Amino acid sequence: MSAATSYLKNLDYSVVQQCMHCGMCLPTCPTYDATKLERNSPRGRIALMRAIADDRLEATKAFADEMYFCLGCLACMTACPAGVNYAELFEHARAEAERVGVLKTPKRSFIRWFTVGWLFMDLRRLHLLGLVLRLYQQLGLQTLIRRSGVLKLMPNRLRELEAMTPQVQPKFSADLIAPVTRALGQRRYRVAMLTGCAQDLVFSDVNRDTVEVLAHNGCDVITPPEQSCCGSLHAHNGEWELAQELARRNIDQFPPEQFDAIITNAGGCGSHLKHYSHLLEHDARYIKRAELWDAKVKDIHEWLAQIGIEPPRANGAAPLHVTYHESCHLCHGQKVTAQPRQVLRAIGNVQLTELPESMWCCGSAGIYNITQPEMAGELLERKVKYIKSTGARVVATGNPGCMLQVENGCRAAGMNVRVAHPVTLLAEAYRGE
């Protein structure tokens, strides 16, 4: 899984040397905010990466730990006046950490092989795991085990992870969505729909809602029942070659020439999907199609705002008090900020209250809440405090990781709020619910 040559030394030097050390990004960085240590800041991390690229420093365990302490939230990119491409630096830095193997232990290697290298490389395997988990939950075994007190015998960390296990949906996307869904009324566009990996297991209902909303807005929607992971998990965890393999697979399965748009409803996936041309820049066979692919990938909110949102019919429903939490990779990674609010405002009875610090990471950050539970917990507490301050009954957010994290946080705080994807709220309005 690892390359023989250094990822950071091979990275285009114009990306490595962009940072002018101004420090404008520091106040927006959640890890720097927590520790006030330069090494935990974007500027500090970039300095470490550059030192390695310049051969002034070896990639040590301390370097690797630092790269995994970074959330990859990309808030620093939004703040940076010099246009530093932190996303690219960060992915290469983690790949470097994996290449030199300074974090390697037998347990870590097994977990990485099982998840990143096996489970998420073929979604049929993930579905199988989802089916087992669904049975475990539907047969009441989970409730039984939770009530039996057996969990108290387990180490704290395992107990915390068990409590975070999401509820698997009764049906996956392929059972809810036809391979071809025709536009309601006149067809204006032909789009493809990506159903995701974890999204498909835990939020297949959001995928169904997305397809319904697209059809309502004049799109024929093609949703192949068997799909691949987008590869963001792989790219963000230092598995560059596996991410490239998945990018090629997706381009083959969704030929970009055949669609007006390729739709994703997960902020984290979208941010990665829009950069396949970076991943495949040295692949002469794929680069042209990857560039076309990047141009065709659209976040659902972005696409709806672009084609115009058909307003749902007024049905006299009671006002719905909503606040909006921004997925980092939607707002910082894709700069999609106004469009989700447009989607929400299209729903007649929604009263939108702005969430203070709506762009501050909730701590989910891919698998950060599993690998760095303390920092993730602090961020979640901060997020929940602000959600509470709005008094909203619904938190809308456009990324599955954020949905789960915010849901867990609100539940732990004893709050009676619903967490929903903006597209679900729009689909419900179309259905007159």
What is the rounded CA–CA span in Å between residue 339 and residue 306?
9
Say whether residue 86 binds ligand SF4 (CB under 6 A). Answer: yes
Q: How far is the CB of 29 from ligand SF4 (least distance, A)?
A: 3
CA dist 268 → 30, 42, 367 (Å): 18, 20, 11
Q: Is 180 helix (H, G, I), strand (E, B) or coil?
A: strand
Question: What's the closest the beta carbon of residue 380 comes to ligand SF4, in angstroms?
Answer: 15
Q: Which residues contact 391 (CB under 8 A, 6 or more apart)?
A: 321, 353
C-alpha to C-alpha distance for 19 and 17, rounded to whole angstroms: 6
Q: Which C-beta is closer to ligand SF4: that of 73 or that of 261?
A: 73
Among 12, 13, 20, 370, interactor with ligand SF4 by CB under 6 A:
20
Residues 7, 8, 16, 30: which binds ligand SF4 (CB under 6 A)? 30
Asked whether position 29 contacts ligand SF4 by CB under 6 A, the answer is yes
Nearest approach in angstroms of CB 69 to ligand SF4 is: 8
Residues binding ligand SF4: number (CB under 6 A): 27
What is the closest distance, in whole angstroms, from the C-beta atom of residue 382 to ligand SF4 in the complex? 14
Q: Which stretch binds ligand SF4 (CB under 6 A): 23-31, 60-68, 150-158, 262-270?
A: 23-31
When asked if residue 19 is in the footprint of ligand SF4 (CB under 6 A), the reply is yes
Letters for 324-363 (x = contact with ligand SF4 by CB under 6 A, - = none) are ----------------------------------------
Structure tokens at 380: 């979640």
Stretch that binds ligand SF4, among 81-89, 176-184, 196-204, 224-232 (CB under 6 A): 81-89
- Positive or negative CA dihedral for 293, 294, 296, 301? positive
Nearer to ligand SF4, 314 or 370 (CB): 370
Q: Compute the least distance from the CB of residue 239 to ligand SF4, in Å.
A: 19
Q: Does residue 303 belong to the site contacting ligand SF4 (CB under 6 A)?
A: no
> Rounded CA gap, 208 and 86, in Å?
34
In the complex, the smallest distance separating the C-beta of residue 13 from ligand SF4, rounded to whole angstroms, is: 16
Based on the number of CB atoms within 10 Å of its own CB, is 130 exposed (0-12), middle (13-18) or buried (19 or more)? buried
For residue 74, state whether it binds ligand SF4 (rule: CB under 6 A): yes
What does the alpha-carbon distance between residue 10 and residue 306 come to, in Å, rounded to a whole number? Answer: 38
Please answer whether residues 325 and 363 qualify as being in contact, where contact means their C-beta atoms are separated by less than 8 angstroms: no
Cβ(365)–Cβ(401) below 8 Å: yes
- How many other C-beta atoms can be found within 10 angstroms of the C-beta atom of residue 108? 10
CB closer to ligand SF4, 262 vs 330: 330
Residues facing residue 311 across a β-bridge? none
Q: Percent helix, strand and coil across the chain, each rounded to 5?
A: 55, 10, 35
**How many C-beta atoms surround the C-beta of residue 220 within 10 A?**
18
Does residue 82 belong to the site contacting ligand SF4 (CB under 6 A)? Answer: yes
Q: What is the C-alpha separation between 426 and 5, in angstroms, rounded? A: 49
Which of 8, 67, 76, 177 is in the footprint of ligand SF4 by CB under 6 A? Answer: 76
73 binds ligand SF4 (CB under 6 A): yes
- Report the half-sphere exposure of 360 (CA within 13 A, side-chain side): 22
Closer by beta carbon to ligand SF4, 15 or else 133: 15
* Shortest distance, position 361 Cβ to ligand SF4, whole Å: 7
Query: Could you give the CA distance from residue 156 to residue 317 in angstroms, rounded to a whole number?
Result: 45
Binding window for ligand SF4 (CB under 6 A); candidates: 65-73, 113-121, 252-260, 423-431: 65-73
The 8-class DSSP code of residue 322 comes to E
| Residue 235 contacts ligand SF4 per CB under 6 A | no
Element (H, E) at 352: strand 350-353
Distance between CA atoms of residues 373 and 69, nearest Å: 11
Residue in 53, 70, 100, 429 binding ligand SF4, rule: CB under 6 A:
70
- Using DSSP's 3-state secondary structure scheme, residue 360 falls into coil
Name the one range near ligand SF4 by CB under 6 A: 69-77, 193-201, 212-220, 385-393: 69-77
For residues 48 and 221, which CB has a smaller minimum distance to ligand SF4 in the complex?
48
CB of 217 to ligand SF4, least distance (A): 34
Binding site for ligand SF4 (CB under 6 A): 19-25, 28-31, 42-43, 45-46, 70-76, 79-80, 82, 84, 86
